[in-house]
Structure 1
Amino acid sequence: MQLHDVWFVLIAVLWIGYFFLEGFDFGIGVLTKLLARNTAERRVLINTIGPVWDGNEVWLLTAGGATFAAFPDWYATLFSGFYLPLLAILVCLIVRGVAFEYRAKRTEERWQRNWEHAVFWTSLLPAFLWGVAFANIVHGVAIDEHKNYVGGVLDLLSPYALLGGLVTLALFTFHGAVFASLKTVGEIRDRARAAARWLGLATAVAAAGFLAWTQAHQGTGWSLAALLVAVLALAVALAANQLGREGWAFTFSGLTVVAAVAMLFLSLFPDVMPSTLNSSWSLTVENAASSPYTLKLMTVIAAVFTPLVLLYQGWTYWVFRKRIGVQHLPAVHTTDH
């Protein structure tokens, strides 16, 4: 395996880690409207991700930076061609971070409710748009012989891409519901388990069509294996949730995310962005990669710092592992509006 292949795998791992962590993060944001019944319960849900949401986004920054350094042509074509949807995601992430920090700065009902609306929409839109973006990356877009995207924004909204967006939205919300049942106590925990049941079924229906479409279009034996793991993991997650085994349910909902995203990358390789105009114009791990020296230097840096980042983030989750409920909130946050 050459270094450009190694870095394709590493970038895939970074995106998998991002969607595993930010997946339940987005799901919690969506559930602040679907699950919580009052301000106190919305605060409980937000608090379940309060210590970790910004750390989860580090995976996105690292994935983007690694793509820029290891595959500059991929980065250039992707971020120029998908400029508007990626800009929309960036704006949502900025507003979302501000909403988390500013919501509790004042006690007025209108102030808090407006920021809660912001949390909901800036969680829902990226969860959908990431699916649209990756569906287009895997299925292929209009790339010319100069490695430029020559399509329009509407070309990114094909039925396959829209289905991909619905899959990630449903999957992340299901992942978030399972996480909420793992991290909360009382009535909100019971409602999270109930929501996970129907969200899991909705995810199964949407994902079955999308993953089967992907496999039929450009699947390999390895991507088929990942598809089967995703299906089995989702089934086990639903069963564990039904039995009240929240830890196992979260483990397997996470494995569903991991396997589904891995399938997309396995279907994509050795391309990084296929061209629908001419297959010889596709960006691949070879023609889009940086120089061997750059890849060697990146490998050394990654070998040193990646374990440190993983240890620190793992320690953060361990410190904030306890369940929370309305009774754990300060009095100012327990008022029902």
Structure 2
Amino acid sequence: MGLPELWFVIIAILWTGFFVLEGFDFGVGMLHRVVGRTSLERRVAINTIGPFWDGNEVWLVVGGAAIFAAFPDWYATWFSASYLAVVLLLVALIIRGVSFEFRGKVDQPGWRRLWSGTLTTGSLLAPLVLGIALGDLVAGLPIDANGEFTGTFWDLFTPFGLWTGLTMVVLCLLNGATFLGIRTTGELRKRAHRAARWIGWAGLVVVTAFAVWILIVADHGWGPVVVLVVAPAALVVSIWAVHQERDGFAFLLSAAATVCSVAGLFAALYPQVLVSSTDPANSLTVHNAASGNYALTVMSVVAAVFLPLVLLYQAWSYFVFRHRLST
């Protein structure tokens, strides 16, 4: 494995880590008004992700920065094509982040409904937009021989991209529901279990269709087959674990389904990094879009030093805030 291939794998790991860790944050944001019937219960649901959500967003920043540094042509073409979508993503992340801070500033029902609404909206839009963007990498965008995007904003809404966005939203919902099962007690926990059961069955249908579709869109060997067959199986076991009230096991299995889905997407994409729907010869690949060997070498040394430190810090934070919350 050369350095370009290594950094493709690292980028896939970073994006997978983002959807697993920030995924349950998004899920709780979308579900806090479903499982919480009173303002206090909704506050407790939000507090379950209070110590984690901003740290988990760093995975998105690092994932984007890694593409910028390791594959500058990929970054330039993809982000230029998705310029308006990136603006929408930033708006979603901003209103979501602000809602955490502003919701409790004024003790009035209307004020709290407003910021609960922005939290729900931002938590829904972010995984939807990111899922569409990742699906477009595989489905293909109109790219010319110079690596320039020649389409319009509406060309970003490919059928496979839209389904990928829906898949990411459903997986985030399931991760959020199973995470609430771990972190809450009493009625909140019971409602989280009910939500996880319903979402789990919906997720099984959505993820299975996603697995079949990705094999049709990108037939690149048995890698995607092996990875994506595991995702529906993990969802079935996760649903069983929710019924048995084995909260930790249910969350791990729902997270495994997310890992398999995102990893399978990148496995199907390789060796391309951005498929051209205009002409396959115009597609950006791991080799023709990569930085020079010196830049990739320096990046590898930095990643080898700092990535383990980040993982240790995050593991420690989850250990410190491992206890359940109640009203």
* Alignment-derived partner of residue 244 in structure 1: 245
Partner of 1:295: 296
Amino acid at match of 1:63: G
CA deviations 1:28-55 (Å, max 9, x no partner) are 0000232221211111110000000000
More displaced, 123-132 or 182-191? 123-132
How many residue pairs get aligned? The number is 326
- Contact 2:22 2:56 (8 Å CA) reproduced: yes
Within the alignment, does 1:76 sit opposite 2:76 as a pair?
yes
Query: After the TM superposition, which of the residue ranges 84-93 and 181-190 deviates more from structure 2?
Result: 84-93
For residue 320 of structure 1, report the CA deviation from its aligned partner: 0.4
Aligned to 1:272, what secondary structure does the other structure show? strand
Residues 142-190 of structure 1 show CA distances to partners (whole Å, capped at 9, x for unaligned) of 1110101111111111222222221111111011001011110000100
Give the alignment of 1:33-44 within 5 angstroms. Answer: 33-44=33-44
State the AA in 1 paired with 2:254: S
Residue 268 of structure 1 aligns with which residue? 269
Q: Deviations over 1:174-210 (max 9, x none)?
A: 1100101111000010010011011011111112112
Alpha-carbon deviations, 1:64-90, whole Å to 9, x = none?
A: 111100000000111100111121111
4+ long deviations beyond 6 Å = none
TM-score, with length taken from structure 1: 0.95
1:231 Cα deviation after fit: 1.5
| Cα distance, 1:110 vs structure 2 | 1.9
Confirm or deny: 8 A CA contact 2:138 2:217 kept in the other structure: no
User: For 1:50, what is the secondary structure of its paired residue?
Assistant: coil
Corresponding residue for residue 120 of structure 1: 120
Alignment gaps of 5+ in structure 1: 327-337
- AA aligned to 1:285 is V
Counterpart for residue 64 of structure 1: 64
Q: Please report how far the alpha carbon of residue 106 of structure 1 lies from its aligned counterpart in structure 2 after TM superposition.
A: 2.1
Percent of aligned positions that are identical? 47
Alpha-carbon offset, residue 275 of structure 1: 0.5
- Please give the alpha-carbon distance, in whole angstroms, between the structure 2 residues aligned to 1:221 and 1:212: 13
Q: Is the 8 A contact 2:68 2:75 kept in 1?
A: yes
Residue 282 of structure 1 is matched in structure 2 by 283
Match of 1:306 in 2: 307
Stretch moving more, 109-118 or 260-269: 109-118
Distance 1:283 1:63 in 2: 18
Question: Structure 1: how far apart are the matches of 2:291 and 2:308?
Answer: 24
Structure 2 stretches lacking a partner, 5+ long: none
Aligned equivalents of 1:189, 1:138: Cα separation in 2: 38
1:322 aligned to 2:305? Answer: no
Other-structure match for 1:175: 175
Question: How far has the Cα of 1:138 moved from its partner?
Answer: 1.4
